[in-house]
Structure 1
Amino acid sequence: MEIEKAGSDMEMEREEENDEETQLLRDRFRLSAISIAESEAKKNGMQVSEPIAACISDLAFKYAEHLAKDLQLFAHHAGRKMVNTEDVILAETSHRNENLSLSLRTFCNGLKAKEPQSERKRKKASRKEDKATTSALETADS
């Protein structure tokens, strides 16, 4: 009986810590979002009321939470523990945000193009090409 009580106490402490951490993240997110909104409004000669900025930041935070859960599920479904860029693109596609998906794909392709290939990757690619060439030659000779 005491073991069950101690276990439930530990679970409650973890939940409280998670709630505190989530609240801290939400507060920091809200401050950042309000700061960005005010900065952009100032650039465009506009003003943003604090309640509207707070509302937008709360919506953005909820969206980020939802997206994070989706990303975790996509990675888990693929048998991975870490989220990758394909998960992000898939999540946006599943939310029917085709414009954002296209932008993300373009951005990722740009990053891949800029990324230098390591010697190891080049060797693997050339080996695959060699196998494809030899198999094509074997079938042509036969």
Structure 2
Amino acid sequence: MEEEELVPDLRNQFKVSAVSLAEAEATRNVMEMSEPVSECIADLALRYAEQLAKDLKLFAQHARRKSVKADDVVISAHRNRGLAASLTSFHDELIAKESERGQRDRRKGKKFPREDEMVDPDYTPESDYTP
């Protein structure tokens, strides 16, 4: 399938997912939601996602990059303070986990051996030979 053929399918899948999420939230909050309202919410979510994609592309292009970074996503949410705060804390948690993982990997990583550790006293050329 070509990319142009996938776009309508992706849009439909997005809308179906958005409708099911909206209905699940309504059920969770003991509310009833009519079908036109849930479809309107799905359409609004799709339009927001499309606009977000355009904004992120422009942010990356402005920074002379071909890929979007997490900072671009945080910046794009500046119009919605609650969302921006949530994204910022999520981004900070990701950075903390990455730095923690990096420190753990550095601790596990092998260091250069000392000179006295470089030579194996039990080494003989015959020990390397495997028939």
Kindly name which structure, 1 or 2, has the bigger radius of gyration based on alpha carbons: 2
Q: Please, what TM-score do these two structures have when normalized by structure 2?
A: 0.70
Deviates more, 1:50-59 or 1:37-46: 37-46
Write 1 or 2 for the structure with the bigger share of helix.
1
Give 4+ residue runs of structure 1 displaced > 4 Å after superposition: none
Question: Residue in 2 aligned with 1:107?
Answer: 90
Q: What are the Cα deviations for residues 65-90 of structure 1, in whole angstroms up to 9, with x where unaligned?
A: 00001101101111111101111111
CA–CA distance in structure 2, aligned partners of residues 100 and 106 of structure 1: 10
Question: Residue in 2 aligned with 1:32?
Answer: 17
Give the drift of 1:111. Answer: 1.4
Question: Residue in 2 aligned with 1:87?
Answer: 72
CA–CA distance in structure 2, aligned partners of residues 48 and 107 of structure 1: 30
Q: Report if the CA contact (8 A) 2:22-2:41 is conserved.
A: no
Where in structure 1 are there 5+ consecutive unaligned residues?
1-13, 120-142
**Pairs within 5 Å for 1:1-142:** 18=4, 20-93=5-78, 96-115=79-98, 116-117=101-102, 118-119=105-106
CA–CA distance in structure 2, aligned partners of residues 42 and 102 of structure 1: 27
SS of 2:77's partner is: helix
Where in structure 2 are there 5+ consecutive unaligned residues?
107-131
Give the drift of 1:99. Answer: 2.4
Aligned length: 101
User: Identity of paired residues, percent?
Assistant: 50
CA–CA distance in structure 1, aligned partners of residues 81 and 27 of structure 2: 30
